[in-house]
A and B are shown apart, each in its own frame.
Chain A
Amino acid sequence: MDQEKSEICNIKVNGTNFEKVDNEMAKKDDSKEKKKLSKRTLKKEHQKELKKDLDLNDHKISTKELEEKYGTSIIQGLTSTRAAEVLARDGLNVLTPFKDTPKIIKFFKQMVGGFSSLLWAGAILCFIAYVIEFSKDNSVSMDNLYLGVVLIIVVILTGMFAYYQEAKSTNIIASFSKMIPRKALVIRDGEKREIPAEELVVGDIVEIKGGDQIPADIRILDSQGCKVDNSSLTGESEPQTRSCHFTHENPLETKNIGFYSTTCLEGTATGIVINTGDRTIIGRIASLASSVGQEKTPIAIEIEHFVHIVAGVAVSIGIVFFIIAICMKYRVLDAVVFLIGIILANVPEGLVAAVTVSLSLTAKRMAKKNCLVKNLEAVETLGSTSIICSDKTGTLTQNRMTVAHLWFDNQIYRADTSEDQKAQSFDQSSATWASLFNIVTLCNRAEFGAGQENVSIMKKIVIGDASETALLKFSGIITDDVIGKRKRNPKVAEIPFNSVNKFQLSIHETDDPNDKRFLLVMKGAPERILEKCSTIMINGQEQPLDESAREAFQTAYMELGGLGERVLGFCHLYLPEDEFPDTYSFDIETMNFPTSDLCFVGLISLIDPPRSTVPDAVIKCRSAGIKVIMVTGDHPITAKAIARSVGIISANSETVEDIAKRLKIPVEQVNKREAKAAVVSGMELKEMSPEQLDELLKNHSEIVFARTSPQQKLIIVEGCQRQDAIVAVTGDGVNDSPALKKANIGIAMGFAGSDAAKNAADMVLLDDNFSSIVTGIEEGRLIFDNMKKIIAFTLTKNIAELCPFLIFIIAGVPLPIGTIAILFIDLGTDVIPSIALAYEKAESDIMNRKPRHKKKDRLVNHQLALYSYLQIGILQSVGGFFAYFTVYAVQGFRPERLLYLRPFWEDNTFNDLEDSYGQEWTKYQRKYLEWTGYTAYFVAVMVQQIADVIIRKTRINSIFQQGLFRNKYIWVGIASQIIIAVILSCGLGSITALNFTTLRIQYWFVAVPYAIIIWLYDEFRKLLVRQYPGSWWDNNMYY
């Protein structure tokens, strides 16, 4: 009962929270730029309206006034015409779905975002160059036109690919619509009729019965035992009674309002519709959730950062060389063509695809581990999580009451609370236990559901409340034959539990044929049970209940209560045969049997025990530097007990209260800094200023928020985010959705979660288990590491693609590699190896390091960029140039001949260009040689990229520590590189448009020494990084 009361308090808090959220949002809006002024005022107005609407007074006014207000009649209902009018005014009774960006816009966004814009610029430059050339001379080659078209195709294809991947993974239907009841029974024109619920209007008189979903917000006019499940709205799991009485100022708490989308569990009710569609309470929460804006994920920010770096490099090099080209008296048009080449070489076209694929691979892997990721980028966000705000019930705990401790014979026994409870190891030989077991089995109204003979006890569905279920299953574990035992001890009378008595009593015949006495068994609140007892059973013997026995009871009760467990007392009495013969008729109304001077048998305490995997998971989180905060609606004592048992509050840390108790000083005198742990109740939280909350979050490493409302979660999340933390939040109720949206990663529960929560979340935990989050984090961290490798791998060859253009402009040599070949590297040979890197195993225990700091530990840091660009990239370019010079030299053009040869080389009328040996070449013969050069350079880059993919397997460990063959996909990738290159060179060598030629076998191996050097150099780098951690080398060479 106590619990219920404070739930109500929480809801009060909820009411104010809405305003708080609104204020916050308004504040945030304020800080936005002036441009958005008009938008802001609009939004503000919308929020004001939201707030105003909460000042609902329909629950206060009388039915007469209601009738007047809505122009209806309680007996006759609305007239059809009036209903039609109102429908026309208010619209359908449906929730507007989340304003999803239209698909086409999403698609276009994919196509203009990131590198695509650079490629578009390249394509446009191509077309401009072509048009200008064409206008001068219409026999000009179509190369630029082709290239422009190819670029556009590339942009569209990668855009489509990214869109497809995203669409596939976000294919979770907006679930609010599913919550709408289809039909409603309504009185109109004086007759009952069933109409589609979306046609309901305010003023309609509706009838609901058990099992229905309430079709709109209604004011109850009349009810018979109506109980509703408001859990999806308020998080309270207890059924709430609904009546026609106005019980509270706050519309959320008064009993005479039924809320849209909640379920009527039992009874019937008649009500008048007071709000429909988006104006319902749930509609407002939904719109609140959608107005908590969706912004960029950490990985999106990282990728944007990376795109900025690359685009910056591309554009600045492009412009510098454009100017150089102009200064070197190249034609402007040529300079533009160079610019295109430079942009193209710099843009890692295949990267977007590689990143998306590796994210979705991880998402798949996580789905296997029960983390269903809705938003691809959430995969990595989870990895950078630094604070988890977890629910208690169901997530940390098993979400079922279980017998935890027993007290009889003056001794506390532990029961097994693991998932299967197989190992009940306490002493079962005592006669007291036999009596206690008798009471537990008999004084229990819960029953197993029908048709479950072959289901194991723990999995059987039980009809009955949580405690009774726990006791039934407990006795089911002890004996296989609970049902038989009950049958042998038939029940003759029973008083079910109610909140006034606080006990439950039943009277049974016994299964002992020699004993004709009736057995009275009783269980209930321990203090109430004890009051009714005069004796206590010790070792099977009834002994008088003296002071010492009472004290023992009190100690045990306090101890078990202190563990946060729900304690029940058990007693019995054999009714004397002479007073209560076989034929005695028991009357529960008059209570014609004794309910005092009973014999106290024992205590059993129940708890929702932690899941057995959770403590390990919490330890893992701790070593991974992730703070776990428990946020629960439960009582602080229970919360703290569970927190202790799962390790959220570690064994040796104390709260302020603990210290006070230990030092026997008042709480106020305790130095708050000394307490590592803190248990904060919702009421305290309500009183806190944001600064105090910040202080709390900063100073305590182990925090439990108890008695909090789901709305307060939002405040906690915001508090954590102010600490620059990346916050993961679990939630299941509808009103968790703002917090889920606000969190960096919202995690909804697969079983317990409402659709709204799942909708607002980024991830759904299929097994509701906290430890799944931890496996998710592990995967997220791994993918971040692997993404670094992928990007490092991809960036490297950009320099090898870029240098040819630079040398071409500066030294006037024939072009070493063409734009088409570049595209074939980026989108051909390199794609599969880069994806294969996503399968790389972690190098060390990634759960042993701190979560990454979102501002300091960047995906692409300067070490990565410098190492890839200026070291391996340059090495690759040198290798490529070596291959290029080799191919030219063996055909007759020695390197020195190539310098500044370009004007002659590219002159179409110069058909007798002399080589180093005095031979003369026509233009086409030179062109063909140039293509052979492209092919050789392409192959050289490919060969060196094989070395690159191997070195990128690890960032710090030696390749041999990591194992060359552990990741088989790498070899698939390497094979793909070679096969694609062979096909291009041999098979497609005859297609001149692609500019590939068949290369002599030996020139495939020209770059091999460079590949080996790359690998040796990287091993050397890693060796020094390992040997000298913290050194200059480590700081500059470890990416």
Chain B
Amino acid sequence: MVTEKEKKTRGQVLEEWKEFVWNPRTREFMGRTGTSWAFILLFYLVFYAFLTALFTLTMWVMLQTLSDHIPTYQDQLATPGLMIRPKTENLEVLVNLSDSQSWKKHVEILDKFLEPYNDSIQAQKNDVCRPGHYYEQPDNGVLNYPKRACQFNRTQLGDCSGLSDPTHYGYSTGQPCVFIKMNRVINFYAGANQTMNVTCVGKRNEDAQNLGDFAMFPANGNIDLMYYPYYGKKFHVNYTQPLVAVKFMNVTPNVEVNVECRINAVNIATDDERDKFAGRVAFKLRIVKI
């Protein structure tokens, strides 16, 4: 089976291309005349306008089915994750005592992060709630909006509150505070009516030795039930999530210490193989001292 293969010279190919791009005989640009181009562009304009309308319509219908304050499903959020502040690159808290710039940025982050927790603001906006109990605000048929939040005062963080603290959360002295927070999940009853707390350990044996002593604020790393459940950004307007501060008193300097903190709560699993942040958080601590 053979067909004549016509080898074209490079010049011919170029010539053909030129003619394709602009054919002066038929006045065609890229194989179409001006009117043809106008038609085809008009067609696609109309077609895409139709598609945009279709997309907009379907999206609008879909969004109408959504509630404003609670997502339809929370399939992935059965276990809230833990996270630290300051959130640093690679979750490594580096404190170089001879270089104040290395920790100043952490301090700035923390200052900003803790500002809503100032007692004055809390007193002004939030309620004092009964500890040890969930602060439930059901709608009961009538939309209960906005919902109130419980006070979490900055002073509860003790040495880590950073209030009139010349050591800047301990960063200037090599005794840094790291704040642990649990991810907000709407309508999640953390702890299932039992007390829960955060504990931290060195990941491996040597880490445990290098970690040294640490103090937890509030005491014992407790998280009170009254901060739950969370009702969502839109309803729970001034919600301030509870924090646990950990102050590392005498970390062995110049080594990297792997710390892992986890929440001890009945209904929060902390052993998810795939999600390394489910109910726990691992970070590195490094104090550089010359």
Give the interface of A toward B (CB within 8 A): 31-33, 292-298, 301, 375, 377-378, 381, 721, 726, 741-746, 762, 854, 862, 870-871, 874-875, 878, 881-882, 885-886, 889-892, 894-895, 909-912, 914-926, 928-929, 932, 992, 1000, 1009-1010, 1013, 1032, 1036
Contacts and interface: CB of A to CB of B under 8 A. Distances in A.
Contacts of B44: 870
Interface stretch (B66-74, B138-146, B215-223): B66-74
A303 B274 CA distance: 46
A802 B118 CA distance: 50
Contacts of B48: 874
Interface string B162-201: 0000000000000000000101111000000000000000
Given A918-B230, A922-B275, A1000-B73, A746 B59 contact: no
A1036 B55 contact: no
A917 B77 contact: no
18 contacts: A298-B3, A741-B1, A743-B2, A871-B47, A874-B51, A882-B59, A889-B63, A890-B72, A890-B73, A891-B76, A911-B82, A916-B71, A918-B236, A919-B184, A924-B274, A924-B276, A924-B277, A925-B81
B71 A915 contact: yes
A852 to B, nearest CB: 14
Given A301-B3, A912-B83, A912-B181, A922 B277 contact: yes
B40 interface: yes
B74 A919 contact: yes
A912 B278 CA distance: 11
B91 interface: yes
Given A297-B1, A881-B55, A922-B81, A909 B71 contact: no
Nearest to B231: A918
B1 A746 contact: yes
A1038 B1 CA distance: 31
Given A294-B1, A301-B3, A1010-B58, 17 more contacts: A292-B2, A294-B2, A295-B2, A297-B1, A297-B3, A741-B1, A743-B2, A762-B1, A882-B59, A889-B63, A911-B183, A911-B277, A911-B281, A917-B71, A920-B81, A920-B183, A922-B278
B80 A920 contact: yes
A819 B197 CA distance: 42
B120 interface: no
Contacts of A741: 1-2
Contacts, number: 161
B75 interface: yes
A360 to B, nearest CB: 17
Given A882-B59, A922-B183, A891 B3 contact: no
A1000 B74 CA distance: 12
Contacts of A744: 1-3
B234 A917 contact: yes
A911 B278 CA distance: 9
Given A741-B1, A874-B48, A918-B186, A895 B275 contact: no
Given A295-B2, A296-B5, A919-B186, A925 B58 contact: no
Nearest to B279: A922
A911 B71 contact: no
A925 B76 contact: yes
B90 interface: yes
B55 A912 contact: no
Best-surrounded residue of B39, B63, B91, B277 (most CB of chain A within 10 A): B277
Nearest to B276: A924
A921 B2 CA distance: 64
Contacts of B82: 911
Nearest to A918: B233
Best-surrounded residue of B48, B55, B75 (most CB of chain A within 10 A): B75
Contacts of A726: 3
A915 B233 CA distance: 9
A31 B69 CA distance: 77
Interface in B261-280: 272, 274-278
Contacts of B87: 909-910, 912
Given A909-B91, A918-B236, A919-B74, A882 B1 contact: no
B2 A742 contact: yes
Nearest to B232: A917
A296 B4 CA distance: 9
Contacts of B70: 917
B230 to A, nearest CB: 7
B54 interface: yes
B59 A895 contact: yes
A59 B239 CA distance: 113
